[in-house]
Amino acid sequence: MSFPPRRPLSMLAPAAGGVSGTPVTGLRAHLVILRAHRFLILLCVGIAVAGALILSSRQAPSYRSEADVLVSPIEVGTGQTTVATPPNMDTEKGIASSLAVAIGAAHRLGPAVDPRDLLDKLSVDVPAGTEILSFTYSDVSPRSAQAASDAFVNSYLAFRQQQATRQLAAASRPLERESETITADLKRINQELTQSNSAARINALTQRANALNSRLGIIQQRISDLAPRDSLDVGTILQPATRPLSPANRSPLVDAILALLVGLLFGVGGAYLRDRLDDALWTQEGLEQVSGVTSLGVIPKASRPLLGTKPLVGANPLLINDPSTDEAFTEAYRSLRTSVLSLLSRTNMKSIMITSAGPGEGKTTVSVNLAIALASSGKRVVLVSADMRLPRAAQMLSINEHPGLAEALADGPLLSSLHLSGVQNLQVLPSGRAFFDPSEWFGSDAMGRLLQDLGKRADIVLLDATPVHGMADALTLAPRVDGVLLVSAAGLSSAQDVQDASRKLDQLGATLVGCVLNRFVSYRAGRHDYSDSYRAAWSAPEGAENRSV
């Protein structure tokens, strides 16, 4: 027997009042997933916000001092000899954050300062489309941050001043060499003038000397223009280093908001991932798909007593004949009773074993309440507590466990082991004393005779058996009964477990007559509980005492 694969929650939802599923799409599907995993989302947000606030409180303060410098082109010469070199801002940024500038800043701050440590706390940026260098220095002390930022600015300007001086010196060297050559030529001409007697030669030498003197004057003027000056403009401080008033890395509100966004991101992502990987059954359609049989009913998750009602002493809100039980819980068992009676009317079934794939899925609660519901309809019902490993049926009905099924199988007298339940038409056969291996007794002829005897005494025999997985009791008993009803808890039963349990029962020749989805949560399946409006509009007549089941 093979079953179709499970679809994720976002693609499954039972139709209102039916057993077939309809796809949930659009915004509604997302809301279903987010609401179903809201605790995971809240947990992620809480952890993120709490972690951010803790880290923010424990983090050492960091004060940032900022300063801006406008980088000026280096002008060489004056007048017609002036040459302006526009700054390359990428190069200037590299110079400002270089070790050479850091050494100069360290000298300004003190002899014990390591230049490399200063560079670790410095950042230099160039705003797009500008010739401005923005110095930012971070330190645990606002005074130290301001001093270091100011030291870097002044060290950079001094370095650039030296760089400009070297450029001027390099530009004046060819002129100095030419000046020396002209001076030597003038000295030679002057000597020749003193020795020459020819008027023509003297006139020529004089003209040559005048030209050299004119050229020498021009060159000396250029050398003078290239001479370094204290007022050489290499940059302007637009914003002096500021003293920060508060730490730049401590903003609890900002940290909390960012952590909130990060927590939501991880929480929502985790919700969708968990839904995609979740193998739990949440819907009636999903249970039908993996079990291979029709669902006979959906039991909602039991809620607290209704507002305005005071629970009676010894009240059990899990029993449908208790006044404090929620009406929706009771109504679900009425629907299940109708399905079971319809099934019995079409067959000759007398005995139905109620089991589940694993423990903790509520099979005993379903067994007891279904027995009460059937007995209330006038059917003679015997409830057998066949879960001898962990018997709870007799306890729920406040019945003594002894004598019971064990005594009836071992000693024979059935009548002395049957107990009245307090519900008309309902008798209970408790588990009795514990057996070492109940499965051996369930497979014996005595068990077959006992079921035949119970079938003569009652219209319906319900057996609350152990879960299928983990023990052989239910698998041994299943072929001896007329039908098996499989109970699965929404959100607890996995598709694989239910599929394996159904396959095992089928292989042993058991007749799986239906399944029941227990502890159903309507919003988790992506639909509204339409019966709420009817229950809200209906109120029991004043003075009513015993409500019928």
Average pLDDT along the chain = 81
Nearest to 138 by CA among 85, 78, 65: 65
What does the DSSP assignment read for 99-168? HHHHHHHHHHH-TT--HHHHHHTEEEE--TTS-EEEEEEEESSHHHHHHHHHHHHHHHHHHHHHHHHHHH
Q: Count CA atoms within 13 Å of residue 431 on its CB side.
A: 20
For the stretch 535-549, pLDDT in tens is: 444 444 444 444 456
- pLDDT at position 546, please? 47
Take residue 79 and report the two structure tokens written for it: 């007048």
pLDDT at 306 over 50: no
pLDDT band at 182 (very low <50, low <70, confident <90, very high): confident
Q: Which residues contact 110 (CB under 8 A, 6 or more apart)?
A: none
- The confidence band for 379, taking pLDDT boundaries of 50, 70 and 90, is very high
| Rounded CA separation 32/17 (Å) | 19
pLDDT band at 384 (very low <50, low <70, confident <90, very high): very high
Backbone torsions φ then ψ of 88, nearest 5 degrees: -90, 110
Residue whose C-alpha is closest to residue 357's, from 150, 518, 125: 518
pLDDT higher at 243 or 381 = 381
Q: Are strands 122-125 and 235-239 parallel, antiparallel or unpaired?
A: unpaired
Higher pLDDT, 530 or 64: 64
Q: How far apart are CA 11 and CA 542, in angstroms?
A: 45
Residues with Cβ within 8 Å of 417's Cβ and at least 6 positions away in sequence, in order, are 403, 404, 405, 407, 408, 429, 430, 432
Give yes or no for a contact between 425 and 380, defined as CB atoms under 8 angstroms apart: yes
Distance CA 179, CA 87 (A): 31
Does residue 17 sit in helix, strand or coil? coil
Half-sphere exposure at residue 108, Cβ-oriented, CA atoms within 13 angstroms: 20
pLDDT > 90: what percent of the chain? 37
| pLDDT attached to residue 313 | 39
The secondary structure of 377-438 as a DSSP string is: TT--EEEEE---SS--HHHHTT----S-HHHHHHH--SGGG-EE-SSTTEEEE---SPPS-H
Q: Is the pLDDT of residue 236 over 80?
A: yes
Residue (of 379, 373, 366) closest to 463 by Cα position: 366
Distances (CA, A) of 12 to 34, 86, 435: 15, 69, 44
Q: At what angle do helices 89-96 and 99-109 cross, to 10 degrees?
A: 40
Q: Determine the Cα–Cα distance for residues 14 and 452; give it in Å rounded to an integer.
A: 39
Q: Do residues 375 and 383 make contact, with C-beta atoms less than 8 angstroms apart?
A: no
Q: How far apart are CA 538 and CA 327, in angstroms?
A: 11
Who's near 342: CB < 8 A, 6+ residues apart?
Answer: none
What is the average pLDDT across 102-107? 92
pLDDT of 367 reads 95
Helix (H) or strand (E) holding 298: strand 295-300
Q: Is the distance from CB of 148 to CB of 242 less than 8 angstroms? A: no
Give the list of residues 6+ apart from residue 217 with CB closer than 8 angstroms, or none.
none
CB-CB contact of 411 with 446 (8 Å): no
CB atoms within 10 A of CB 99: 12
Average pLDDT score over residue span 47-69: 83
HSE (CB half, 13 Å, CA atoms) of 477?
31
- Which pLDDT score is estimated for 21? 36
Rounded to 5 degrees, φ, ψ at 217 are -65, -40
Instruction: State the pLDDT confidence band at 296, using cuts at 50, 70 and 90.
Output: very high
pLDDT at 326: 82
26-35, 446-455, 532-541 — most confident range: 446-455
CA atoms in the 13 A half-sphere facing the CB of 482: 18
